[in-house]
Structure 1
Amino acid sequence: MANKRDASGKKKYRTGQELDVMDTVSKWAEAEVVAVDEASQRILITYTFWSDKWDEWLDFDSDRIRPRGSETYDAKSPKVGQRVEAFDEKDWLEAEIVAVREDAAFVHYKNYHRKFDEWVPLRRVRPFGRSKRVVKQALAAKIAAYEPRLSVFERSLEKRGLGLVRVSGDGNCLFRSVAHQIYGDDKHHALVRQRCLDYMEQERAYFEPYVAMDFASYVAEKRRDGSWGDEPELQALCELYDRPAQVWSYNAGGAKVLRAFHGTDCPPMRLSYYGGGHYDSIVALGRHAPLLSTPPGHVESAKLFPLKASDEEATDAARVSAALAESRRLFDARDVDLEAALKASLEALGEPDDFLPGDDLDELQASLDARAAKAHEDTDLERALELSGREHDDSRLATVLSASTTHADDENLAKALDLSQRDNSRHDDAYDIDLVRAIAASLDQQ
């Protein structure tokens, strides 16, 4: 069954739903629903890694439709006839599986003579469409589809004092975004990638269980320029720089923390996640970013090749070790990946608080929203105090106080205005304290 059925037993589809669809050359391909025609019981599908010119309408009950992942390549259950990418010791090439055995697939490389057909270990086979060129084309299409939401997302970030910094969608986006967070420039992405994978090799005992293929092959693949980063790499980067990460995405409210990594007290790395594997950097507007002051590579080398520590440094190392253990406990416990979390979030736009298990991120979001609101209140208060210290500026102060206390208590507001209109030459401590308290009390009534 390709999807859920409604009360009448008819199949029910939704826009954005991902499926496996047999294409026009009888190959199973990843596809997505872009329109649903309930009246004629048809869906318009687009093939994930092909031009929109191949989009087509299919009947709800078409035999060419299957649930996502049931027919396209899965390393746990490869099938004869599947379109895949296979590594021929030089590059990833489009291929077709001709035969299967327990640990390998016999493949035919597209546009190559049959004499080059060979048995390839499954660790050198992956789903079709992951090459750098195809990824860039597909990602551009995904971002274009995301654009209507993007402006809402950016406005929501701005209300929280945050701004989006876009990086290239070339497969390096995770490492570019982290480099921007750490160094203020995404040009250091190659260094960040290299040291991230160095760290994963150093901590192999921990990271290996999260890798479905041979670990050495996985690391070698992730070292390649343009090979996209996944959640294990993000966890490794948090550990490498001892910085937590907040992954933000679009939600019914505009923007919400989709996932948090590595809960230390250090300033977080803020990343935006579109889905389809693309990340961007998020920065605090009007504030200096917490960038590393040391040259690129210094902190990474210190983490990977530590010198003999002093007693004070050993104590600090013990603190970091305890934080690392807690970070990994939370990473282990989270059984939903970013892509699944994003899908669940978008499916639950009418219920924005229910898209993730647990209340931890809801509490974090509430704290962030409260902090943003407090920042606005503090700005109003600082402006009011500034104006109260100027001679002959009572009218401007009254305007600010009135604007910031639309629903304020009249008694507190009257007191604040009365104090502000007294002789401005009197600036003893008691007077300042009374004025601040009155203004603060009026703001608290909002």
Structure 2
Amino acid sequence: MMTRNGTQSIGECSSSTSASSQQDVEDDRMIAVVLSEEYAKLDGALGRRLSNLAPVAHVPRINTFIPNPSDATLDHQRLLQRLNIYGLYEVKVSGDGNCQFRALSDQIYRSPEYHKHVRKEVVKQLKDSRPLYEGYVPMKYKHYYKKMAKSGEWGDHVTLQAAADKFVAKICLLTSFRETCFIEITPQHQTPKRELWLSFWSEVHYNSLYDIQDAPVHKPRQKHWLF
């Protein structure tokens, strides 16, 4: 509705903004589905390269320990050495609290920009399958998944398990830890349909991993190129 001076009313502007935001979310969802199906066909090469590594069993847990800067620096150097040894390339994602979801988004959709969609799907998995995860969370479970729904909240090993279950994927972590080089997170009740590879630095940051020969070149995000 127009006011007497020819401008839109506040209510109409708010409604228009809300509709636009909802359309953006729906566009993202549709693009994400198509990209996921397309890039799932490319899995496997990196797993073959690291087939000699013996994985450590994964135990879901929340974040409880953050290393001091000195230990974190040493861990980062160790991780870089491992990346060089195995010929791996890191797609570095923003350290804004969403890095786990950005790295997962990059592996699934070849872009870290769908991290909000990934977080939403992981939180839905946590809510819908509460018995699978509640025992690993030493706090009120509802408080936990509501906290995880907030942008900027760090993902943990419980959200990694939920992501593996939700996306029916084996999540492989190449870590900076001295005695735990390689961790696998597998779906609890399904055979994985794909592999997602992340680097994990000192409990504080995740990046997306590729064989160095397959290192992707990310282009600016285009929301409507499929239509």
Q: Give the shorter-chain TM-score range.
A: 0.5 to 0.7
Aligned to 2:86: 157
- Report if aligned partners of 2:97, 2:154 keep a CA contact under 8 Å in 1: yes
The share of aligned pairs that are identical, in percent, is 25
Distance of aligned partners of 1:206 and 1:155 in 2 relative to their CA distance in 1, 3 Å threshold: same
How far does residue 173 in structure 1 lie from its aligned partner after superposition? 1.2
How far does residue 140 in structure 1 lie from its aligned partner after superposition? 7.3
Aligned to 1:180: 106
Aligned to 1:258: 183
Equivalents in 2 of 1:142, 1:226: separation in Å? Answer: 24
5+ unaligned residues in a row in structure 2: which ranges?
Answer: 1-62, 217-222
What letter is aligned with 1:186?
A: P
User: Which of 269, 285, 303 is the matching residue for 2:212?
Assistant: 285
Aligned to 1:219: 145
Equivalents in 1 of 2:79, 2:192: separation in Å? Answer: 30
Aligned to 2:125: 199
Equivalents in 2 of 1:164, 1:251: separation in Å? Answer: 17
Does the residue aligned with 2:169 lie in a helix, a strand or coil? coil
Pairwise mapping of residues 96-245 of structure 1 onto structure 2 (< 5 A)?
143-158=72-87, 162-245=88-171
Aligned to 2:28: none
Equivalents in 1 of 2:89, 2:147: separation in Å? Answer: 32
Does the residue aligned with 1:244 lie in a helix, a strand or coil? strand
User: Higher helix fraction: Structure 1 or Structure 2?
Assistant: 2
TM-score by length of 1: 0.31
Q: Looking at both structures, which has the greater relative contact order when contacts are Cα pairs under 8 Å and sequence separation is at least 6?
A: 2
Q: How many residues align?
A: 153
User: Higher strand fraction: Structure 1 or Structure 2?
Assistant: 1
1:276 and 2:185 correspond: no
Equivalents in 1 of 2:81, 2:215: separation in Å? Answer: 25
* Runs of 4 or more consecutive aligned structure 1 residues displaced over 2 Å after TM superposition: 138-151, 250-253, 258-267, 284-289
5+ unaligned residues in a row in structure 1: which ranges?
Answer: 1-125, 290-295, 297-446
How far does residue 139 in structure 1 lie from its aligned partner after superposition? 8.4
What letter is aligned with 2:95?
A: G
Pairwise mapping of residues 306-325 of structure 1 onto structure 2 (< 5 A)?
none
Does the residue aligned with 1:218 lie in a helix, a strand or coil? helix
- Report if aligned partners of 1:174, 1:279 keep a CA contact under 8 Å in 2: yes
Larger-gyration structure (1/2)? 1
When the two chains are superposed, the root-mean-square deviation of aligned CA atoms in Å is 3.2
Instruction: Note the alpha carbon deviations across 1:245-292, whole angstroms, 9 max, x for none.
Output: 111124679x94234433835331011111223211111333498xxx
